[in-house]
Amino acid sequence: YQRRVHGNTCLGYHGYIVLLVFAKTSLVSRGHFIPSGRTERVKRGKDLGVTRASNKGGVGMPFRVYDSVVAFTAVHLTADTSKSRVEARNEDCYGILRDLQMGMEYVGFDYQDQYHHTFLLGDLNYRLTISPSDALPALNAGEWSTLLQNDELRQEIEAGHVLSGFLEHPISFPPTYKRKIGPCPEATCYADQYVLAKKKTSDGELGLRPPSWTDRILWKSLPDVKDRMICTGYGSCLEVSTSDHSPVWSTMKMVVTNEPSSYLFDGKEYSFTADHFVVRNAVGSPQRVKEYMVLFPLPDEDLLMIHTGMHQILELGSALELSSKSSQANRVIHRFGVDQKLEIKCTAHWNVLLTYHMIIKIVLVNGDDLGQSLLCLSTHLKNSDSHFHLSVYRGGVYQGTLEGDLFVVTTTDEV
């Protein structure tokens, strides 16, 4: 099926961002591949006063594949070198993770924790931090690991400044930018395949840029399903010479299961009680905590609704006719103050309950939020200890830790 991605090119800014997702017809017709929300975008281009240009930013689409929900996000971030540009790229990532809401309703939580697997790919524009003269020996020798020690993106992720928790397969291919357009039969070394000279600056100076891996594919999985998404290949398409960027590709193996339908109709009522929440090691000097917001379950964890939707797809013959209904999961946002207890009731089969997740958002007295934490019930309920200790992130940036206790009791008072 198709989703049209809108771009505004009438403002004089080159290009826009497009994301295409292809699925086997057999998966769609059997209801194993269905839309899980809507196509959304975040503009991060030049500030035009009432809006921002759409040549920078991100566009995303989520889908359910069997029992897993995968979100794809194509991005194009701020270009050029300098420390301020690195910070601008980090801000672009932060804004995309915060503002991209692909559900059928706005829930107000960072989107990368709402899906089992989240892919972020495109022209991220992160560069090498060394001079071209220092980069050329390693470039000509094909010593990619030496060059990657100076990769901005890796440095920023390791420092916790951007995309915390996202993974990338080891790189074993040449830098993807800035390559000469067209075939280079005269090239005798890697350096001959790149344009090292920048455009002239306002004072007439002609600078140099080192080749860089600007084009990347990263992914993030929820902690309890990390081993179900495996990268089996990562490379670049050097034979494509119509752009100054080499396209990159990745092959992934995703492990899925098809839960027995009996799980959906055979369950107990469980009562969740949480309290003693404490925020520690908070970055900066945040204001006092006002309340906590809890999203439970996640947008696509109501399996009974999904099961019903799949049968309706088979009857209707089209997943698109259900795109607005199949994404309306039976979820609730709960609020409770710092001196209150969180109490939630949920009816589910135990095996289904173990697949659920809870997002806890920390709201400050000024109305802003410190960030959010993700609690995996499969990990928590298998431990004898009711205490949890979670990292807090905001827009992919580490903010501190959250501690508390979570008790789960059945209707028969069985802990």
Nearest CA-CA partner of 117 in 9, 260, 225, 231: 225
> Is residue 352 helix, strand or coil?
helix
Phi, psi of 33, rounded to the nearest 5 degrees: -140, 105
Where residue 370 falls among pLDDT bands split at 50, 70, 90? very high
pLDDT at 8: 43
**Phi-psi label, residue 276: left if phi above 0, alpha if psi -120 to 50, beta otherwise:** left
Residue-wise DSSP of 119-187: EEEEE----BSS-HHHHHHHHHHT-HHHHHTTBHHHHHHHTTSS-TT-B-PPP-S---BSBPSS--TT-
Q: Which of the two residues, 164 and 104, has the higher pLDDT score? A: 164
Q: Is the pLDDT of residue 270 over 80?
A: yes
Where residue 218 falls among pLDDT bands split at 50, 70, 90? very high
Summarised one tens digit per residue, pLDDT across range 88-127 is 999 999 999 988 888 767 788 999 999 999 999 999 999 9
Nearest CA-CA partner of 238 in 300, 289, 194: 194
pTM summary value = 0.85
Summarised one tens digit per residue, pLDDT across range 137-148 is 999 899 999 999
Nearest CA-CA partner of 262 in 348, 328, 329: 348
Amino acid present at 220: K
Residue with tokens 């089996």: 232
Q: Which two tokens stand for residue 253?
A: 């193996």
Cβ atoms of 333 and 294 within 8 Å: the answer is yes
Percent of the residues in the chain that have a pLDDT greater than 70, as a whole number = 77
pLDDT, average across residues 391-400: 94
pLDDT at 199: 61
pLDDT at 410: 80
Summarised one tens digit per residue, pLDDT across range 289-344 is 999 999 988 877 865 455 544 444 444 443 333 333 333 344 578 888 888 888 88
Residues with Cβ within 8 Å of residue 326, at least 6 apart in sequence: 34, 35, 36, 305, 306, 309, 312, 313, 319
Residues with Cβ within 8 Å of residue 122, at least 6 apart in sequence: 17, 58, 74, 75, 76, 77, 215, 216
